[in-house]
Homo-oligomer: A and B are copies of this chain.
Amino acid sequence: MILHSFKNDYSEGAHPRIYEALQRTNLQQTEGYGEDFICAEAAALLRDAVKSPDAAVVFLSGGTQANLVLIAHALRAYEGVIAPESGHINGHECGAVEATGHKILTLPSGDGKITAPQITELLREYNSPHVVAPRLVYISQATETGTVYTRDELKTLYNFCRTNGLYLYIDGARLGNALAAERGLTLADIANFSDAFTVGGTKNGFLFGEALIIPNAELAQNIKYSQKQHGAMLAKGRVIGAQFEAMFRDSLYFELAAYANEMGLLLRDGLAARGVKFAYDSPTNLQFPIFSNADVEKLSKSYGFNIMGNHGASGSVVRLVTSWATTEEDVRGFLESYTSL
């Protein structure tokens, strides 16, 4: 019997305050397509939170959708995207970016992050019409391996991008976790050091929903056309707006992310104390312990998790994910199970 699943941070429904928010305005009539007062309020809260009073805010239903809408919007037909090989758009979105016509140029990355020198080298090769024109750099914050760009890393990357005529776009599916993990990095920094980014809801207690925020005014122009064209404009836009309103009315969004991280670190520290090594050094709610295959088999009888790959001849890299809905008991149970293997 599975006691708890550490597979994802989207295994449950939503935080109770999400339902409260939706029901509070349920029978009030509004305009459709995100032109309602609820979305307006949520957008205002977000603009305030990112200290970017003129940023465009678009509410979308999921991460792949947000990525493809922004990228298709940003690029001319012959332009391409630079991304780490491990980037979500490259390996987990069924070619969504390519389906909009754009090539992804990948950079190798040990920890899921990429750097200006890597891009410099790539730009040297990509400088003629025989190859696409790189125009946008895609990164994830936190990355797919749970790591986090520091404020300095982000600032350096953004300044490099500006100098080189590249947009910097940050996939923030786990932005809350990144901010909670990285002291000295704020939501306003994210807005200052990027042309566009998402504030992920799905993985942080929402029913669903991401906010695409575009501080770059020129890039933001006509974004609603791109949203509509990709089937990403809900008739009842308010359904996402209300959720963001609930989360950003006070600090709930950050509290849930901090809690998820706390559970992740509890897992990490507990396992480390038991001698477990990790594939990545993650300060967030994604942890990648290396277990022997024998242990993996035993643990999988009581816990759900994903296996990321082999480690040596007889080990595996495992992914454990915690969330707002993970209890301390869930974590302690797992640690005890490991101890008693």
Contact = CB atoms under 8 A, between A and B. Distances in A.
Nearest to A66: B231
Report how many copies the assembly holds: 4
Contacts of A92: 130-131
B99 A80 contact: no
Contacts of A233: 62, 64, 129
Which has the most chain B C-beta neighbours within 10 Å: A76, A132, A231?
A231
Contacts of A13: 22-23, 25-28, 236, 238-239
Given A72-B77, A95-B229, A228-B96, A62 B4 contact: no
Contacts of A230: 65, 68, 96, 99, 230-231
Interface residues of A, number: 77
A232 interface: yes
Interface stretch (A151-159, A219-227, A262-270, A273-281): A219-227
A101 interface: yes
Interface string A93-132: 1111011111110000000000000000000000001111
Contacts of A208: 234-236, 239
A126 B201 CA distance: 28
B78 A73 contact: yes
A126 B92 CA distance: 10
A67 interface: yes
Interface string A12-48: 1110000100110111111111000000000000000
Contacts of A192: none
Contacts of A28: 12-13
26 contacts: A7-B31, A10-B236, A11-B31, A12-B30, A14-B22, A33-B129, A61-B61, A68-B230, A68-B231, A77-B100, A77-B229, A92-B130, A93-B228, A94-B129, A94-B130, A94-B132, A94-B225, A95-B229, A100-B101, A101-B101, A129-B224, A129-B233, A132-B225, A132-B229, A133-B225, A202-B236
CB-CB nearest 7 A-B residue pairs: A65-B231, A13-B26, A78-B225, A95-B103, A129-B224, A94-B228, A95-B132
